[in-house]
Structure 1
Amino acid sequence: MAEMVDIELITIGERLRAVDQDHVAVIADSIRQCGRVLQPITISRKFATRDALRPEMTLLAGAHRLAAAKLAGLDVIPAEIVDDIKPLQAKLIEIDENLLRHELNPLDRAVFLAERKRIYEELHPETKAGVAGAKAKHGSASDTMSFAKDAADRLGFNPRTIERSVKIATSLSPEVRKNLVGTDLSKNQSELLLLAKQEPDAQIKIVELILDQKHGVKSVKAALERTSGKPKVVADTTQAEIKKLMDAWRHSGLTARRTFVRELSAGDRLLLQDLLDMANPDTEEAA
Structure 2
Amino acid sequence: MRTLAELTAGTPLFMADLATIDTSDRLRPVTPQNAQLTAASMSETGQIAPVVVRVHPSGNGLKLIAGGRRCAGAAILGWEQIAAVLVECSDDEARMIEVDENLAREELSPLDRAFFLAERKRVYELLNPEAGHGKAKKPKTEKGKVANLATFARFSKDAARSTGLSERTIQRACELAGALTPDAVSLIRGTKVADNQAQLQALAALDPADQLKVAREIAEGRASNLAKARVTAGMVPEGGAVREEDRPLVKLEALLARLTPSQLRGAKVMIDAKIVALDAAQQTRPTKPKKGGAA
Fold equivalence (TM over 0.5)? yes
Is the CA contact 1:127–1:145 (under 8 Å) kept in the aligned structure 2?
no
Q: 1:207 aligns with which of 194, 199, 215?
A: 215
Change (3 A) 1:68 1:152: same
Q: 1:77 aligns with which of 73, 82, 104?
A: 82
**Aligned pairs, how many?**
227
How far did 1:134 drift?
Answer: 5.2
How far did 1:43 drift?
Answer: 0.4
Q: CA RMSD in A?
A: 3.2
Give me the TM-score of the superposition, normalised by structure 1. 0.68
How far did 1:111 drift?
Answer: 1.1
How far did 1:237 drift?
Answer: 2.7
Counterpart in the other structure of 2:63: 58
Counterpart in the other structure of 1:173: 181
SS in 2 for 1:101: coil
Q: Does 1:195 align with 2:195?
A: no
Is the CA contact 1:164–1:193 (under 8 Å) kept in the aligned structure 2?
no
Change (3 A) 1:124 1:144: farther
Largest Rg, 1 or 2:
2
Q: Distance in 2 between matches of 1:19 and 1:143?
A: 32
Q: Distance in 2 between matches of 1:221 and 1:133?
A: 46
Question: What is the percentage of aligned positions where both structures have the same residue?
Answer: 33
SS in 2 for 1:79: strand
Query: Any unmatched runs of 5+ in structure 2?
Result: 1-11, 140-146, 242-248, 271-295
Q: Does 1:164 align with 2:169?
A: no
Q: Distance in 2 between matches of 1:46 and 1:193?
A: 38
1:95-110 matches, within 5 Å, as 95-101=99-105, 103-110=107-114
Is the CA contact 1:44–1:57 (under 8 Å) kept in the aligned structure 2?
yes
How far did 1:149 drift?
Answer: 0.6
Counterpart in the other structure of 1:17: 28
Q: Does 1:220 align with 2:222?
A: no
Give me the TM-score of the superposition, normalised by structure 2. 0.67
Change (3 A) 1:212 1:87: closer
How far did 1:30 drift?
Answer: 2.4
Is the CA contact 1:44–1:58 (under 8 Å) kept in the aligned structure 2?
yes
Of residues 119-128 and 64-73 in structure 1, the stretch that sits farther from structure 2 once superposed is 119-128
Q: What amino acid does structure 2 have at the position aligned with 1:38?
A: I
Counterpart in the other structure of 2:134: 132
Q: 2:51 aligns with which of 31, 37, 41?
A: 41
Q: What amino acid does structure 1 have at the position aligned with 2:65?
A: L
